[in-house]
Structure formats: C-alpha cells, structure tokens
C-alpha cells in the first residue's frame, strides 16, 4: 500500500495534467498572484441551494454528463481545470456586465478546452446549462491545499481581501472558488484557489 501511495505521488502531476485557461503572472507574492487571463469559455449551471458542497456535487454531475456527450452533437469533450464555483447572487456576463439578484445558490462551471469558440461549443441538451464567454481580465489569486470547507474558504477570502487592499487594487464582483484536482488526489497535494477579479 505504501508503494502504491508513493507511486501516486510521483505520477500525480502527469496523471492529472489537463488543460487550463491561459494566463500571465503579473506579480507573485508568496501564495498570492496577480494574473492576466485571456478570454475563455465556460459551460455552467446554477444550483439553487445554500450549501456549496451540495451545489458543487449537483453541478458537477450535470456538467460531467454534458462533456460525456449530453449535448446536441453528442460530442465528448476533454476535461479541463479548474471547476469554478461562485455565488449565484452576482453572475458576470459578457459585455455589458449584468448583476442579477437570484435565490441563494451557486453557479458551477467547467472551462472549455482552448480550441472551442462560442460558435463551436456544443449546445447542451440540458436546458439548465448555459455557455458564456469570460472576457480577458485581471485576477488576484490565493492558492491553498487541503480539503475544501466553508471555514477554509472564509479564511482564504479574508487573506486575499487584505492582500488586494495592501496592493491598492479595486475588486469587481464576488470571489470565485477554483478547484483543480479530482477527489483521488491526496488532500495535501490538492490545488485550490480563491480568485477575485480586480480593476486594472
């Protein structure tokens, strides 16, 4: 068992190396980064429940069915990272930016592989899923490992908010949780982030 675990640790980076949105690191400060993201496409769904774990599980199942062929062309789509979760009370759209109040809940999204455009992204068969272009933007990020929890999210969000303030940045919208690893990944190797869009 110990040998299997050691092998998993060695192979983990290669086993789970999947496509991510393109970005440039503009500033690095320990666990904090300021990034400039290129535009990318997400397919997402809003789950109207207050518990983020419950919303994430339900949203993940819907989105996994979508990339497994539950779309109008029955196309299978490669898994990417991260899985994005954000409060549904503030949903950023393409220009213009629209903020719409909604019931308590979370929007869960999968990032599409880079080769897809808004025109070529398969239309979901599930009407509760939507396709959205995320425009180029600047994002402040704090990275952390371990299991996700409400407490961990609150602590990291507070830390990120303090760092943003110390850098004299201006925040836009609500923070987003980004999770990069599958459940099989050991907790201490997991890559989680809180991301906050800023004005730049």
Cis bond before residue 82 (omega within 30° of 0): yes
List of E strands, the chain: 23-29, 32-37, 40-47, 83-87, 106-111, 129-134, 137-144, 170-171, 176-179, 192-199
- Tokens 């303090």 locate to 162
Of the listed ranges 124-128, 142-146, 163-167, 187-191, the one predicted with least confidence: 187-191
List of E strands, 68-164: 83-87, 106-111, 129-134, 137-144
What pLDDT, on the 0 to 100 scale, is given for residue 104?
64
State which fold the 2-199 domain adopts.
Answer: Multidrug-efflux Transporter 1 Regulator Bmrr; Chain A (3.20.80)
Name all contacts of 152-160 with Cβ < 8 Å and 24+ positions apart.
152/192, 153/52, 153/177, 153/194, 156/194, 157/194, 160/32, 160/194, 160/196
> Quick check: 188 and 11 in contact, CB under 8 A?
no
Distance CA 110, CA 1 (A): 33
Q: How confident is the model at residue 157 (pLDDT cuts 50, 70, 90)?
A: very high
Compare 119 and 20 and report the one with higher pLDDT: 119
What pLDDT, on the 0 to 100 scale, is given for residue 49?
82
Is the pLDDT score of 92 beyond 60? no
Q: How confident is the model at residue 88 (pLDDT cuts 50, 70, 90)?
A: low
What pLDDT, on the 0 to 100 scale, is given for residue 186?
77
Compare 128 and 57 and report the one with higher pLDDT: 128
What pLDDT, on the 0 to 100 scale, is given for residue 79?
84
What pLDDT, on the 0 to 100 scale, is given for residue 132?
95
Name all contacts of 95-98 with Cβ < 8 Å and 24+ positions apart.
95/135
How confident is the prediction for the chain on average, in pLDDT? 81
Q: How confident is the model at residue 98 (pLDDT cuts 50, 70, 90)?
A: very low
Determine phi and psi for 191, rounding to 5 degrees: -110, 115
Is the pLDDT score of 43 beyond 80? yes
What pLDDT, on the 0 to 100 scale, is given for residue 145?
87
Q: Tokens representing 129?
A: 């899923």
Is the pLDDT score of 99 beyond 50? no
Q: How confident is the model at residue 103 (pLDDT cuts 50, 70, 90)?
A: low
What pLDDT, on the 0 to 100 scale, is given for residue 142?
97
Determine phi and psi for 176, rounding to 5 degrees: -120, 140
> Quick check: 186 and 9 in contact, CB under 8 A?
yes
Percent of the chain whose predicted confidence (pLDDT) is above 70? 81
Distance CA 71, CA 130 (A): 11
Is the pLDDT score of 46 beyond 50? yes
């Amino acid at each position: 068992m110990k040998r299997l675990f050691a092998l998993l640790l060695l192979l983990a980076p290669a086993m789970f190396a999947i496509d991510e949105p393109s970005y440039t690191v503009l500033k690095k400060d320990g666990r904090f980064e300021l990034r400039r993201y290129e535009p990318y496409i997400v397919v997402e769904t809003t789950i109207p429940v207050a518990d983020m774990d419950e919303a994430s599980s339900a949203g993940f199942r819907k989105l996994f069915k979508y990339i497994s062929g539950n779309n109008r062309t029955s196309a299978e789509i490669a898994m990417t990272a991260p899985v994005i979760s954000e409060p549904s009370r503030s949903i950023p759209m393409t220009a213009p930016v629209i903020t719409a109040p909604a019931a308590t809940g979370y929007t869960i999204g999968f990032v599409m592989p880079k080769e897809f455009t808004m025109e070529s992204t398969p239309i979901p068969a599930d009407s509760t899923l939507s396709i959205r272009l995320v425009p180029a933007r600047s994002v402040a990020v704090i990275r952390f490992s371990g299991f996700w929890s409400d407490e961990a999210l609150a602590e990291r969000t507070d830390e990120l908010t303090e760092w943003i303030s110390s850098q004299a940045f201006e925040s836009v919208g609500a923070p987003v949780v980004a999770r990069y690893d599958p459940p099989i990944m050991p907790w201490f190797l997991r890559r989680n982030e809180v991301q906050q869009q800023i004005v730049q």
